[in-house]
Amino acid sequence: MAAELKSKFEGKWVHDRSENLGAFLEKAGVGMIKRNLVQQLSPTMVISVEGETITVSITAGPKTNKSSFKLGEDYAVEGEQKGTATTTYEGGKMKTVIKPNDSKLTGHTILRDICPKGQLVQTMETGGVTATRYFNKA
């Protein structure tokens, strides 16, 4: 499974465009100033696979968020909205479910897939609001 994930997702991905990101961030509890800033940034995502360990590193502006994990195992989510996440790989897609530590915040799901044109499509959902981000392989 890790070999399939590696051949499909590993590499550097550059942001192309986003749909409905502002509404998603608002529902996720991100304040207006930060929401506006995030929508203006074009993140770069690097996915690497070493054995059974997957690392996803996202850089936007001066900030980098990095998570290393094994499929099906809980891991800590750092940053402003700390929590616990679990990532699985089924049907050629990576699915991450994040449960925030703060009970006032809503959990969310991130689904990553490679479309037929080779673009990485990241669909994020929280509280019934969905956003989609598109990345091209660098």
Q: What is the Cα–Cα distance from 52 to 130, expressed in whole angstroms?
A: 30
Question: Helix (H, G, I), strand (E, B), or coil: what is residue 34?
Answer: helix
Cα R_g (the chain), whole angstroms: 14
Indicate the domain borders of the chain. Answer: 2-131
- The rounded distance, in Å, linking the Cα atoms of 126 and 91 is 22
CB contact at 8 A, 78 and 8: no
With 90 as the cut, is the pLDDT of residue 96 above it? yes
Tokens 């936007």, residue located: 60
Residue 86 makes CB contacts below 8 A (sequence gap 6+) with 72, 73, 74, 75, 96, 97
pLDDT above 80 (res 70): yes
Give the residue-averaged pLDDT of 94-118: 94
**Mean pLDDT taken over the chain:** 93
Average pLDDT over residues 71-93: 92
Q: Please give the average per-residue pLDDT across 53-59, as a whole number.
A: 96
- Name 64's bridge partners: 59
What fold is seen in the domain 2-131? Lipocalin (2.40.128)
Task: Report whether pLDDT(35) > 80.
Answer: yes
pLDDT higher than 80, residue 19: yes
| High-pLDDT (> 70) share of the chain, % | 99
Cβ atoms < 10 Å from Cβ of 46 = 16
